[in-house]
Structure 1
Amino acid sequence: MSRVIYTPEMLEFIAAQYKLKGLPEVTAAFNKKFGSDKTVQQIRATLKNHKITCGRKTGELNKGVLRTFTDKQAEFIKQKYTELSLVELTAAFNSEFGTDKTIKQIRSFTRNHNVKSGRTGRFDKGQQSWNSGMKGWCAGGRSAETRFKKGQALNTMPLGSERLCSKDGYVMIKVAMPNKWRMKHVVEWEKHNGPIPKGYRIWFKDNVRTNWAIENLMLITRAQGAVINKMGMGTVPAELKTAAVTMADISMKRRKLSTSKQEQAA
């Protein structure tokens, strides 16, 4: 197999980027700059073959730096966590910054950086409840019609109810009783386009998993998605999504041709 040729401009770009960024970021920047589909492994090999070093001590790049959150995002979490639950905070964070963080990631940040909500979830000694001294109080209106009846499960939610999945941050919608839920974006896609074919998945154009609007959804194959993530382009902006899919197709075609040639030569 012939060796990949890098121009002096490419090598200079890689060397400059590597002094400031980690390998995944260098790879993504290189692919965007030169319209290529290099993987992290290929860029790492190039660094080694051309003896390009970052000039940093181990861990120096991330020393005092938030690895996956900017200072502005960190401050947002610290302020909002005193007002919002983790589910609400995750949704607000993704809406504010156009990200697709999961509840698990937000929870990890609060724990790793000792961010406290200030809430205990219980009444403190001597604290009065909101309905203290209001025995027999009734909310009025039609509240009596919506109260739980004797023998009715307290955790039963009606059809069409929505919640945020704590595992991956997707909006879930209840589609059948007693407890069948589906991803809202999948339901919305199928409403307009029919069932998602086997081997395909939905990609959010703005990278926000809670934005299930049909115009924000696009269909790609799972193979394309895997290659796109490998190239470090999983969160490119909406205007580059189609280009990322094209680059993934080219990469897979190139790999298939390379494998075919190797098999013929064997």
Structure 2
Amino acid sequence: MNRIFPDNIKTFIFENAKGKKNTELTELVNRIFGTSYTVKQIQSFKGFNKIKSGLVQKFPDVIISFIKENVKGKSTSELTVLVNQTFSTAYTEAQIKTCKTNRSLSSGLTGYFPKGHIPHNKGLKGICSPGCEKGWFKKGNTPKNHRPVGSERIDTDGYVYIKIKEPRTWVLKHVHTYEKHKGPIPQGMIVTFKDGNKQNCNIENLLLMSRSESMIMTSFRLRSKNPELMGTGLLISKIILQKNKLKRNLGGKK
């Protein structure tokens, strides 16, 4: 915002903003510098630089008395309309709200229904406008985006999910395939891919390992896209884990 104002105009606004409305300040700037800034641009510049005009909206005593007499039971918007209609003024809701706040005036409205209030639609449950039934789903209707059991999708990480049950039961395909051929996966174990391809869910490409073995394979860079090397890496990880276990046991005896 500052970039559209030359330094001399910035300085002028800082020095002359006090005591002037945004419309007055805009007119003054444009007249002196031959510019065509809008009130919104001047207002934005003042807001960005935290420049205050120091003006306080003054209300005549007759309007203040009117507001006090009519504030109860009316929202700020309703009261604003009433004031402007009665006195042919053009106050904004923000100005009326400020007037109320400065004088601790309250409408008494809470936004809640009073105790014993009867809803306008009481007793109308199940009653609909004529013709609205055309947009209802009919019993047995199948949505256009419905996907049957056996459908597959790929998530953002590249894993394949397969739908195994209606209405929306999806599971990881490689886990489903492994359990289908080998039985439930033991706790603490995971299924990974021998060739590193997350979308190759053939049972021959799936490898069962513990989470600890998986961490070792990652830490020691034993993973490979070669299925045979992946098998070798798993054996090495088992040896490393066994070696670490022996070290801990020997250390404990000391």
| TM-score range normalised by the length of the shorter chain | 0.3 to 0.5
Identify which of structures 1 and 2 has the higher relative contact order when contacts are C-alpha pairs closer than 8 Å and 6+ apart: 1
Larger Rg: 2
